[in-house]
Amino acid sequence: MDEIAPEYDVVVLGTGLTECVLSGVLSVKGKKVLHIDRNDHYGGEAASVNIEALFKKYGNYANGEEPWKKYGRVNDWNIDLVPKLLMSNGELTNILVSTDVTRYLEFKQIAGSYVQQGNGTRATVAKVPSDAGEALRSPLMGLFEKRRAKRFLEWVGAFKEDDPASYGGLNLNVCTMKEVYDKYGLEATTRDFIGHAMALYQTDEYINQKGAAKETVQRIRLYVNSMARYGKSPYIYPLYGLGELPQGFARLSAIYGGTYMLNTTIDEITYDGSKVSGIKATMRERGDESEGMKFSTKTKKILGDPSYFPGKVQIVGHLLKAICILTHPVPNTDNSDSAQLIIPQSQVGRRNDIYIAIVSSAHNVCPKGYYIAIVSTIAEGSSNHHLELQPGFDRLGRIEEKFMGPAIPLYEPLESGMNDNIFISKSYDATSHFETTTDDVRDIYRRAEGQELVVEGLREGTNLVGEE
Amino acid sequence: MSARASTGSRPGGQGRFAQFKLVLLGESAVGKSSLVLRFVKDQFDDYRESTIGAAFLTQTIALDDHTTVKFEIWDTAGQERYKSLAPMYYRNANCAVVVYDITQASSLDKAKAWVKELQRQANENIIIALAGNKLDLVTEHPDKRVVSTVDAEAYAREAGLLFFETSAKTAENVRELFTAIARKLPLEQAGARNLRSNPRPGVDLRPEAPGTQGAGACNC
Ligand SMILES: Cc1cc2nc3c(=O)[nH]c(=O)nc-3n(C[C@H](O)[C@H](O)[C@H](O)COP(=O)(O)OP(=O)(O)OC[C@H]3O[C@@H](n4cnc5c(N)ncnc54)[C@H](O)[C@@H]3O)c2cc1C
Ligand SMILES: Nc1nc2c(ncn2[C@@H]2O[C@H](COP(=O)(O)OP(=O)(O)OP(=O)(O)O)[C@@H](O)[C@H]2O)c(=O)[nH]1
Ligand SMILES: [Mg+2]
């Protein structure tokens, strides 16, 4: 085995998406990176696992049984642990393209984007209208409301941040979204699907927040423009599951000299005064009885996910999640092979939205005939979590298998990292996309490197790659 | 399920055109990247550090007037050094070159372990070639050889592998190695399975991609 270098510019702990994007970008920019994970696989919390691994993770079967056997070849399954989709015009897509990581991945559209209106037996599910024309055809609104919604969406479509004339007489920098909705005379149910299924807010806090109107308009524009890109929905998804994303960025990092070590536990983080100075660690494969390979190396910076720093993070909420295996498309989604369905909080008497992300064999994540639906929300109580997700289960029809563990704590770092040079990421939140993940990537980069992350032009140095 | 291997009519020409994914495996410093560099660019670098910046290359071989094979070549990017290769690397590999250094006995043991892993994990039709590299070193100093040709060849035959002794430095047998793989690839079968001109299904993320609207359906 080769020697580990005596010093690295950055040591990265955990191979989740946030960490892998950072390590890829830092390597391309010439930093010497050592990237470690305690697990034997890439992806950490953002991995995709096969069905045997999923049963074993949740332990929902009797001793001696092997329930995964009735689901075909275990390796035909790549089940995401984090339910998210990529906005086709979003920042992660931009980073993927700028770094050429798209070479290693193939993407497909998510076939539809749906929203629920009403509750219980009166619940209806309909496509989220994405432009003025669709608004006019949408069953979500009555005749006059359709026209008002059309006017609103036309205004959003013409909005230009640097052209106050396009603000429509509103001072978007200070006004609330309520004032905007009022101006267009939109009904409560319309506000609900615009705010939750297009701007993708998970609560109603944005409505009365001063100055939030501009951000709301920008979020709706991201949705509309992502939608316009490929046509069916604003979302795309990588074949073989989201776990391919961290692997792709890890490969980018490795190509630019990053060193990768899985199966490696951190024994100690060493400090020089208040600042980090290095790590001591042990690499040992599973099942290996020996002591493993012990090593130490110096570094002035560590980046990592919260699980590596239990003393330096706090819990900011709990995520509820249930992974469901179906043998049919989700009802009322036009037999789509994939979809997102949002249940806005107010429709079912909650404070947080319920999300359902659906993928299938069309994305090489399961054998033909199966669908994987992940229902998730932010926990509002400390028990009966199953009931909190019930409105989501009600949408799914017959469920073959349900995997639901205890509420998942969401962590954030206590400090910025300026004091100890340890820069910690946030847990993957409850949003349905990766926009907050890339916000975190940018934030960590700014804190750790003291400058803004610019990804544009990153691939220009890669003239060694062959013709394509 | 979508396969990387795809065939179709060659743009602007006649005959068959097929694209296959090829992965390289083997101990660090046996010359994996050097073999690719020789094959793709016909270059060699004596002071090559570990693979940097180039781990995805393509090269086309014309087997005859009618048949062209394009290799999409994946290099390990050094992730094998601490046993950290990602499953993405192997996914849908149609062929593999497992490399050892004929002047390092341990590198053949490593190669055998990789072959085992391939036969266990990869799809059963994968074509595997064993390459004993750095042949030039023993031409001048025969005593440097520690793995005999006969032994390696016997092992390759037993395990059902193509076998070549190569030199990335002098180019000896490098083209032969890749051509032999190309000849063994299941062109007919792949053709029957999915005939299409665009080897990459799915959506194209590049901003300049023309006609993205409505794309994405894999018509296979
Ligand atoms: C050395 C090695 C180590 C691995 N380690 C891991 C690991 O650590 N973790 C992990 O999760 N996975 C691992 N894998 C598995 C790997 O990620 C893929 O799951 C595997 O390579 C996919 O092949 P399969 O066995 O599912 O074969 P298949 O699904 O049968 O075939 C693979 C693809 O090739 C296509 N194909 C097959 N035959 C033909 C043909 N004749 N013509 C055209 N196309 C064809 C198929 O359509 C399919 O798309 C490893 C694989 C290898 C080779
Ligand atoms: N004499 C001789 N040297 C070679 C040959 N092939 C590779 N080398 C040298 O061996 C060293 C390692 O070659 P690489 O191609 O980087 O090896 P690799 O297997 O890609 O190594 P990693 O990227 O670290 O896994 C370099 O110094 C090469 O110049 C060969 O055929 N003959
Ligand atoms: Mg190399």
ipTM value for the complex:
0.85
* Inter-chain Cβ pairs, chain A and chain B, closer than 8 A: 121
Q: What is the pLDDT of residue B200?
A: 53
Task: Give how many domains chain A has, as a whole number.
Answer: 1
Please check whether residue B95 lies inside any domain of the structure.
yes
Residue B56: inside a domain: yes
Of B28, B41, B216, the CB nearest to A108: B216
Q: What is the mean pLDDT of the segment spanning B19-27?
A: 94
Q: How confident is the model at residue B124 (pLDDT cuts 50, 70, 90)?
A: confident
B81 vs A304, higher pLDDT: A304
Q: Does residue A172 form part of some domain? A: yes
Does B136 fall in a domain? yes
Among B54, B207, B218, the residue with its CB nearest the CB of A97 is B207
User: In chain B, what residues touch A261 (CB-CB under 8 Å)?
Assistant: 82, 84
List CB contacts (< 8 A) between B202 and chain A: 106-108, 239
**AA letter at B19:** Q
Number of domains in chain B: 1
**B5 CB near ligand 1 (under 6 Å):** yes
What is the pLDDT, as a whole number, of residue B215? 34
Would you say residue A139 lies in a domain?
A: yes
Provide the CATH number for the domain around residue B38: 3.40.50.300
State residue B98's pLDDT score: 98
Ligand 1 and B118: CB distance under 6 A: yes
Nearest to A75 by CA among A106, A48, A41: A48
Does A158 reside within a domain? Answer: yes
Between residues 278 and 337 of chain A, which touch chain B (CB distance below 8 Å)? 283, 285
Which stretches of chain A score pLDDT less than 70? Answer: 1-2, 459-468
| pLDDT at residue number A289 | 86
**How high is the mean pLDDT of chain B?**
82
CB contact under 8 A, A229 and B213: yes
DSSP notation for B101-158: ETT-HHHHHHHHHHHHHHHHHS-TT-EEEEEEE-HHHHHH-GGG--S-HHHHHHHHHH
Measure CB to CB from residue B200 to each of A106, A244, A256 and give the nearest one: A106
pLDDT of residue A144: 94
Contacts of B201 in chain A (CB under 8 A): 106, 108
| pLDDT at residue A76, as a whole number | 94
Residue B201, chain A, CB below 8 Å: the answer is yes
CATH number at residue A211: 1.10.405.10
- Nearest residue in B to A262, CA atom: B84
B147: in domain: yes
pLDDT of amino acid A421: 98
pLDDT at A410: 97
For A364, half-sphere exposure in the C-beta direction (CA atoms, 13 angstrom radius) is 21
Question: Which residue would you say has higher pLDDT here, A287 or B30?
Answer: B30
Average pLDDT, integer, range B44-51: 68
Q: Give yes or no for residue B30 having a pLDDT over 60.
A: yes
pLDDT digits (tens, 9 = 90+) for B148-180: 999 999 999 999 999 999 999 999 999 999 999
Sheet architecture: strand order including A107-109: A86-87, A235-238, A107-109
Q: Is B141 inside a domain boundary?
A: yes
The whole-number pLDDT of residue B189 equals 56
Ligand 2 mean position to B104 CA, how many Å?
12
pTM exceeding the 0.95 threshold for the entire prediction: no
A347 part of a folded domain: no
Q: Which two tokens stand for residue A58?
A: 């949740």
* Domain assignment present for A222: yes
Take residue A70 and report the two structure tokens written for it.
């009735």
B109 to chain A, minimum CA–CA distance in Å?
A: 14
Give residue A162's domain range.
Answer: 131-230
In a domain, A176, yes or no: yes
User: In A, which residues are within 8 Å of B215 by CB distance?
Assistant: 230
Task: Report the pLDDT value the prediction gives residue B219, as an integer from 0 to 100.
Answer: 32
Domain annotation covers residue B208? no
Is A4 contained in some domain? no
In a domain, A141, yes or no: yes
SS3 A361: helix
The pLDDT of residue A176: 95
- Show Cβ contacts of residue A46 under 8 Å, excluding neighbours closer than 6 positions: A16, A17, A80, A81, A82, A242, A243, A245, A246, A428
Range of the domain at B124: 16-189
Within a domain: residue B34? yes
Q: Determine the pLDDT at residue B3.
A: 41
